[in-house]
Structure 1
Amino acid sequence: MSYDTIPSNASLKPKPFKAHVSDDELNDFKNCLKYSHIGPKTYENLTADPKEILGWGIKREWLADAKDHWLNKYDWRKTEDRINKLPNYTVGIEDVGFDFQVHFMALFSKKADAVPLTLLHGWPGSFLEFLSTVEVLKEKYTPETLPFHVIVPSLPGYGYSNGPPLDKDFDCEGIARVMDKLMVGLGFGKGYVTQGGDIGSFVSRILGVSHEACKAVHLNLAIGVGESKDAPYDKLTEAEKKGADRGKHFSWLGDSYANEHGTRPATVGLVLASSPVATLAWIGEKFIQWSDVAPPLDEILDSVTLYWFTDSFPRAIYPYRQFFGPKPSFFHPDPNWYIKKPMGYSWNPQELAAVPKDWVKETGNMVWYREHTEGGHFMAMETPKAFVKDMEDFIAQVWPDIQKGKL
């Protein structure tokens, strides 16, 4: 079955893309991994529990075992094959006088009324977060029945996309411009829906506020939102209180990495690009801590290996300067970033900041909401069937009225 029929009215001309590293690159990586040093035993790394906010970080034993598995049992070629079973493309997009080469994975529908949907990842994620979601859709629908055109980009600086520019500043507003140009250039200028978590949630908010072609926004993260006067903490459900507490603890004890990204991106970028084990420790901790149930080791290694082969880490952390740099900018409390278009929100109990519904409602025109009993920060990766169901139900509710001009 073919999901690679690009709309005939597309102005962009994407080129098919296949994930592949050479045998020499793979051997060089394994040699680098083999000789990557793991630090000595300490009280902290022997008693560490990365599932806890105050758990000291990654456990040395886990890191040593993961290194051994990565070196001797893990097979990146299987991941390349999994990527390449789905349509992937690269396309040039100009912005701020720079030629962005944007990678995206896609399922193009042949259904006449298919709704364009872009799924936006964050850090330490990548387009790989949505592999299982796209596979669920591919299994569930044929090209003739697929209700969406699904576009999963690698954000500028991540994975197989290049950028950001070396000679000028770049931020989330810039990412949004490039993503909008991608969707419009693929033939979706009359309207599309965006979905985002992590950095993708900020980019999706900007798309909803600032770009006409974006008609609706779905989020599974709304970090930075404060307590609502109309829904104070003591009026929340027990589940919401636990989620709010988790967000409070994260902002107090869990975001030191983000401050490092925002204030010392040059240093931390170069440090973590120097050793695959260092990259694994920094990223692996987040996948374990931020997920409801820690992902299988191979899934963590897929993400870290992609970061390593594409030199993503130093290129990908620039958005943190906007949030944690000398002049931090958070979009949610600012009324200028209120989403007037239809907004949906999926609440997951183990999200690093599981913000209550009524608090998020103050940041946009929330017309759809679903509370889940399981799931964490990487919703599409952790619970892909639930994620697909949320996309189906949210879009089924809002899109007909959008088309009629009622929303």
Structure 2
Amino acid sequence: MTATPFRLEIPADEVADLRRRLADTRFPTVAANRDFARGTSGEYLRELVAYWLDGYDWSREQARLNEIPQFVAEVTGAEGPVRLHFVHRVSTRQDARPLLLLHGWPDTPFRYRRVLDALAEPEDPAAPAFHVIAPSLPGFPLTGGPARPPKETAGLLTELMRTELGYERFLVGGGDWGTVIGMELARQQPEAVSGLFLTNADYPTGQEPDLSEAEQEYAAWIGRWFMTQGAYAMVQSTKPQIVGPALSDSPAGLAAFQLGLIDTGADDHDVEAAFGDRDELLTNFCLYWFSNTAASAADAYYEAAAGGWGAPPPAAPTVPAGVAVFPREAQSPREWCERQLNLIRYTKMPRGGHFAALEVPDDFVAEVRAFAGDVAGR
């Protein structure tokens, strides 16, 4: 094994540079936008930057992150070795099962920080326990480097799980990029993936035959969403390096760009609650900032598009799958999930959105446990 422990240690001069850039932010003079109708609210961004500068404590948050067991390992990919960063919360339970949790954009594996202990050490001895592995995807904090296409990333994660960590069979969970990569991993390694737990089931391309009425409504909704909310995805899929320098040069610009997506899953534009809380939100921005990975993470969209994003998908994975549909996430209907997956569980969740593991951790944990029970023994 090549896995070695990892600790975040951001030099003081880099923290000072962030504070200087925040203090020197040049805000544009634009129309009032409290309702985020034109994108990230300028009024809110000013308030957030002021707190980031004078109220947020990176040293405290770094110490909290370092309480989470983290590692790096060199794994072999199609284009050579990749140094993967990952969280690895090992359970003390002898019957614990490996659970690979995959993040998306614009977040990190720390989207799962509030569920790690509950999944690994449940208070109820009858509840399933898990060894939780949450890697940083290539191009993202804290793996860094160039982004990789989903097929190659799935291969890297197989190497991590089976070769480096010795988990021959494991559950996979995730949403956003976690859905795309998780489905690819299940296609590549059906003998290794014992179950696939997702919070969305990918999106229609418009090329699928015989869509039901519910699926047609869903496809139309997805089309409208991308036309009104998906500018970030179009930029990142086609010309990500248009915005890359700005994301790497301005912390306020990075925050504004990422908040545009976070807001789409917020209740009444409460982007902080949608991501857990204000400090959680700023910690996420700091991870992208200090690792200088906002631009390389944006490139992940280009890598997927260049690999045929939008083309008819391959056959559905054969592994048993469950989908938890949170109310402020894309409302994938059951018929669509059955088309995309070998669906054995479909749950409409009572609350939460895109970052459910941060926003409603108890609900997320309960549904993961329930799905694990459904696939036990399969």
TM-score by length of 2: 0.90
Q: State the alpha-carbon separation in 1 of the partners of residues 126 and 319 from structure 2.
A: 29
Three-state SS of the structure 2 residue aligned to 1:318 is: helix
Give the structure 2 partner of residue 140 of structure 1: 122
Q: Are 1:304 and 2:282 an aligned pair? A: no
Q: State the alpha-carbon separation in 2 of the partners of residues 385 and 80 from structure 1.
A: 24
Q: State the alpha-carbon separation in 2 of the partners of residues 214 and 139 from structure 1.
A: 22
Give the structure 1 partner of residue 16 of structure 2: 27
CA contact under 8 A between 1:291 and 1:378: conserved in structure 2? no
Amino acid at match of 2:17: D
Three-state SS of the structure 1 residue aligned to 2:92 is: coil
From 108, 111, 119, give the equivalent of 2:93. 111
Q: State the alpha-carbon separation in 2 of the partners of residues 308 and 162 from structure 1.
A: 12
CA contact under 8 A between 2:122 and 2:129: conserved in structure 1? no
Give the structure 1 partner of residue 375 of structure 2: 398
Three-state SS of the structure 2 residue aligned to 1:317 is: helix
CA contact under 8 A between 2:119 and 2:365: conserved in structure 1? yes
Give the structure 2 partner of residue 405 of structure 1: none
Three-state SS of the structure 1 residue aligned to 2:88 is: strand
Q: State the alpha-carbon separation in 2 of the partners of residues 160 and 19 from structure 1.
A: 9
Amino acid at match of 2:202: I
Q: State the alpha-carbon separation in 2 of the partners of residues 30 and 262 from structure 1.
A: 31
Give the structure 2 partner of residue 130 of structure 1: 112
Change (3 A) 1:144 1:111: farther
Q: State the alpha-carbon separation in 2 of the partners of residues 363 and 279 from structure 1.
A: 34
| Aligned-residue offset at 1:160 | 1.4
Give the structure 2 partner of residue 329 of structure 1: 309
Give the structure 2 partner of residue 120 of structure 1: 102
- Residue correspondence of structure 1 range 377-396 to structure 2 within 5 A: 377-396=354-373
Three-state SS of the structure 2 residue aligned to 1:361 is: helix
| Aligned-residue offset at 1:109 | 2.0
Give the structure 1 partner of residue 341 of structure 2: 364
Change (3 A) 1:157 1:340: same
- Residue correspondence of structure 1 range 62-77 to structure 2 within 5 A: 62-77=44-59
Q: Are 1:38 and 2:27 an aligned pair? A: yes
From 38, 58, 67, give the equivalent of 1:85. 67
- Residue correspondence of structure 1 range 255-270 to structure 2 within 5 A: 255-270=230-245
Change (3 A) 1:143 1:70: farther
Give the structure 2 partner of residue 316 of structure 1: 297
| Aligned-residue offset at 1:252 | 2.2
Give the structure 2 partner of residue 49 of structure 1: 35
Q: State the alpha-carbon separation in 2 of the partners of residues 360 and 144 from structure 1.
A: 30
Three-state SS of the structure 1 residue aligned to 2:39 is: coil
| Aligned-residue offset at 1:244 | 6.7
Q: State the alpha-carbon separation in 2 of the partners of residues 398 and 101 from structure 1.
A: 32
Aligned residues: 369
Change (3 A) 1:324 1:250: farther
Root-mean-square deviation over aligned CA pairs: 2.5
From 1, 4, 20, give the equivalent of 1:15. 4
Worse-matched range after superposition: 196-205 or 288-297 = 288-297
CA contact under 8 A between 1:160 and 1:310: conserved in structure 2? yes
Q: State the alpha-carbon separation in 2 of the partners of residues 348 and 316 from structure 1.
A: 25
Three-state SS of the structure 2 residue aligned to 1:329 is: coil
Amino acid at match of 2:18: F
| Aligned-residue offset at 1:340 | 0.9
Q: State the alpha-carbon separation in 2 of the partners of residues 228 and 372 from structure 1.
A: 28
TM-score by length of 1: 0.84
Give the structure 2 partner of residue 176 of structure 1: 154
Three-state SS of the structure 1 residue aligned to 2:319 is: strand
CA contact under 8 A between 1:110 and 1:144: conserved in structure 2? no
Give the structure 2 partner of residue 6 of structure 1: none
Q: State the alpha-carbon separation in 1 of the partners of residues 236 and 7 from structure 2.
A: 31
| Aligned-residue offset at 1:158 | 1.0
From 170, 193, 196, give the equivalent of 2:174. 196
Deviations 1:71-97 (A, max 9, x none): 011011122122111211111112124
| Aligned-residue offset at 1:141 | 4.7
Change (3 A) 1:388 1:342: same
Q: Are 1:159 and 2:141 an aligned pair? A: yes
Three-state SS of the structure 1 residue aligned to 2:363 is: helix
Three-state SS of the structure 2 residue aligned to 1:124 is: coil
Worse-matched range after superposition: 283-292 or 214-223 = 283-292
Contiguous gaps of at least 5 residues in structure 1: 1-11, 402-407
